[in-house]
Amino acid sequence: MIYKRAQEETQSGINFRVIRYADVLLMMAEVENELSGPAAALPYLNQVRGRADVAMPPYPTAQYPVSTQQQMLQAIMHERRVELAGEQVRNRDIRRWRRAEKLINEPIPGYADRYNLLPIPQQEIDNNGALTTADQNPGY
């Protein structure tokens, strides 16, 4: 995979966002599970696991049955965690599931609500006359 293109047409020639097809399939599985139920989501989930270079057994498995919407969501969460490990999408998944109250257990030890927002850099507050330290996000 090429991470720097010779004719980059954005601000930088590095770090452009790449979305993997497996990520798209897992997003589709999550959407279908919410809209139509686990039967509609299962083909997308198994397509990720059924790739020749992965060759994982299809769902349902003993650890992840997928007959209910909640069971399917747990399988999708597991699959996103292992399939997309190290690809910097986990925090967005956790935030989305936390806001939707879909998490059974808090996956980040020591998590606090203040982490939902990032701090506004002090330099930005100093450089913008319309901002004061009172505008800083809560908890920072």
pLDDT, tens digit only, all 140 positions of the chain: 455 556 655 565 566 667 889 999 999 999 999 999 999 999 999 999 999 888 899 999 999 999 999 999 999 999 999 999 888 888 889 988 988 999 888 888 888 888 888 899 999 999 999 999 999 998 88
For the beta carbon of residue 120, count every other beta carbon within 10 angstroms. 15
Structural domain boundaries of the chain?
Answer: 21-109
Structure tokens, 7: 């004719």
SS (H, E, C) the chain: CCCCCCCCCCCCCCCCCCCCHHHHHHHHHHHHHHHHCHHHHHHHHHHHHCCCCCCCCCCCCCCCCCCCHHHHHHHHHHHHHHHCCCCCCHHHHHHHHHHCCCCCCCCCCCCCHHHHCCCCCHHHHHHCCCCCHHHCCCCC
Question: What is the pLDDT, as a whole number, of residue 104?
Answer: 84
Instruction: Give, in order, the Cα–Cα distances in Å from 117 to each of 31, 103, 137, 139.
Output: 25, 19, 7, 9
Question: What is the pLDDT, as a whole number, of residue 39?
Answer: 97
For the beta carbon of residue 27, count every other beta carbon within 10 angstroms. 15
Task: Tell me how far apart the 2 most distant CA atoms of the chain are, in Å.
Answer: 59
Question: What is the pLDDT, as a whole number, of residue 76?
Answer: 97
